[in-house]
Amino acid sequence: MSEHLLTTRGFTRDSAVALLDVAEDMADTQRRSVKKLPTLRGTTVVNLFFEDSTRTRLSFEAAAKRLSADVITFSAKGSSVSKGESLQDTAQTLQAMGADGIVIRHSSSGAAHVLATSGWTRAGVVNAGDGTHEHPTQALLDAFTIRKRRHGDDSRGRDLAGLSVVIVGDVLHSRVARSNLWLLTALGASVRLVAPPTLLPAHVEGWPVTTGIDLDAAIADGPDVVMMLRVQRERMTEAFFPSPREYARLYGLSVARADALPEDGLVMHPGPMNRGLEIAGAVADSPRSTVLEQVQNGIAVRMAVLYDVLAGERA
């Protein structure tokens, strides 16, 4: 059992496989007519979202409710935060209300770590995305989806050894890319980052990845997975590429580029997608695309995470 889930950086091969195997068990329960489990009955989970979210918030809500937890969803808009209340005050208020688990999404990198280590709350903390730092449950559901596509019902106990993954696009602002590179490499995959020079982080020397600026060259190497990243215009304070048309021409996953992938190559996107910019609509809707599977698998993975963080000695 883990006290918190803040990052994927500390995962070993065995710890990652173990958590993905728990997610397999959770996924099996979701194919039954009665999907609810009594695992977290009597436990209160607070979704503390300081940023707009649809997929992640709904996925965590569904996961907690299917484990029979009581769920409180907090949105910063219209709350005391908009009146100037600090994260400390909010956390202490939730502690006084008896929160057992807090799922936090915040625009500031490191917010989840501060919440978990500050002493403001004794709740288990799950990072649902903090600034440009990490988004660990997205990486877990991506790894789960890749493993499921590769091994099907024989997934349990398997890692991703020997697979090559190319992550394309706005790496500079992407917490999804950061969480994925640590988790996928822990599971044995090789990771290559491809982006315009302006959207590659300046210092990647300590990262277990290779980098490049030529998407066509990366595709020519025959990767097993191409993961497209959303262009995060809301985090851009300057022009990082000449125009959307130029970006799509050089770094968008067109039908022609998708056709050049190996026959069993996968196309992934964390969503929401900018169709026609980072990925062509026909590619997003093609059989090699895992976009909707990622959403579906996200519930089972987040059930596993909540179980891991909350169902041990704390419960």
138 is in an annotated binding site: yes
275 is in an annotated binding site: no
Instruction: Return d(Cα 13, Cα 183) in angstroms, integer.
Output: 9
Contact 223, 166 (CB under 8 A): yes
Sheet holding 266-268, edge to edge: 210-212, 190-194, 164-168, 225-228, 266-268
How far CA 76 is from CA of 47, 72, 183, 275, in Å, comes to: 11, 13, 30, 29
Q: How many CB atoms lie within 10 A of CB 157?
A: 11
Of 146, 171, 176, which is closest to residue 161 (Cα–Cα)? 146
How far CA 143 is from CA of 10, 113, 160, 184, 257, in Å, comes to: 16, 23, 8, 7, 23
175 is in an annotated binding site: yes
13 is in an annotated binding site: no
56 is in an annotated binding site: yes
272 is in an annotated binding site: yes
197 is in an annotated binding site: no
83 is in an annotated binding site: yes
Q: Give binding residues as ranges.
A: 55-56, 83, 105, 135, 138, 175, 230, 271-272
Residues of each annotated binding site for carbamoyl phosphate: 55-56, 105, 135, 138, 271-272
Give the annotated binding-site residues for L-aspartate. 83, 175, 230
